[in-house]
Amino acid sequence: MKRDNTSYIALGSRLLGIPEVLTLGVKPNFYDYTVHERELIFNSDTILYPTLNYAQFFTTIGKKIFPSLETYIYADEKIKQTTLFNMLDIPHPRTRVYYHLHHGDILKDFSFPFIAKLPRRSSQGRGIFKINNVEELEKYSRLTSVAYIQEYMPPERDLRVILINYSTVLAYWRESPSKTFKTNIFQGGSINFEDIPEDGLNLAREYSRRCRFNDVGLDMMDVNGKWYLIEANMKYGRKGLRLKGMNLKEILRERLLSGELLSSHR
């Protein structure tokens, strides 16, 4: 732990208000920071929440950051996540990407119903569609030149696991309301904290470390006894934490001051 008179340095606002952290803000040009602020950045052991823009630069020059560069570059990137999961041999629903000229091949590979997502901007359950017929597929295809198509798995519920530095903070079931296929809380899904399976938690910890996602909410689904990693959410919701009486900022502060937040990280 750093001495009491030494501040941790952050750029993004996630830790704003924590007394031990000096948040400098995200400035569009590096030289918009004062000479003193630049000295603080370069002299700090680790830059906290640098944002995607600065995360890549700090990583290139050898400066430690939290969260990891991977946590940033795969955020809200469905195609990149699918490719990464496949390369790491992490179980993931059968998924294919079709660029505009190949939309006609979708029905050669998938039968109705299937899931179609916008490759970006599909957080909080938005931009996700269950495609039941040709008309719905044509409507979806007009929304995007890049089609992200995934096999349909009846989602009565999925498991959201929130991990910070590869350690579980909270896990809960997200259960779908009747007459819908979405379990997302913003789409009417409910939260259940009961009977959280240890094997699901163990896999979530393993997958987060293999992907190098160290501030993430992983969505997992158990289908006939086999766990699938559906997607990674770097902007995970706070409702589950609030229902448990947990404050994310306080959790981060405690782990920062104990040294747990920055231990064995990359």
Q: What is the pLDDT of residues 183-202, one digit of tens each?
A: 565 455 799 999 999 999 99
Q: Domain coordinates of the chain in residue numbers?
A: 8-66, 94-151, 157-258
pTM for the structure as a whole: 0.91
Confidence at 123, pLDDT banded by 50, 70, 90: low
**Residue 108 burial by Cβ neighbours in a 10 Å radius (0-12, 13-18, 19+):** exposed
d(CA 135, CA 14): 43
pLDDT of residue 181: 60
Match domain 157-258 to its CATH number in 1.10.10.10, 3.30.470.20, 3.40.1190.20, 3.40.50.10540.
3.30.470.20
Backbone angles phi, psi at 237, to 5 degrees: -70, 165
d(CA 1, CA 140): 51
- Superfamily of segment(s) 94-151: ATP-grasp fold, A domain (3.30.1490.20)
d(CA 199, CA 156): 19
The 8-class DSSP code of residue 155 comes to -
User: pLDDT tens-digit profile of 81-110?
Assistant: 999 999 999 999 999 999 999 999 999 999
Confidence at 4, pLDDT banded by 50, 70, 90: very low
Angle among Cα 260, 84, 120 to the nearest 5 degrees reads 95
Give the residue, 155 or 140, on which the prediction is more confident. 140
pLDDT of residue 2: 45
User: pLDDT tens-digit profile of 16-54?
Assistant: 999 999 999 999 999 999 999 999 999 999 999 999 999
Q: Among 32-41, 173-182, 218-227, 232-241, where is mean pLDDT lowest?
A: 173-182
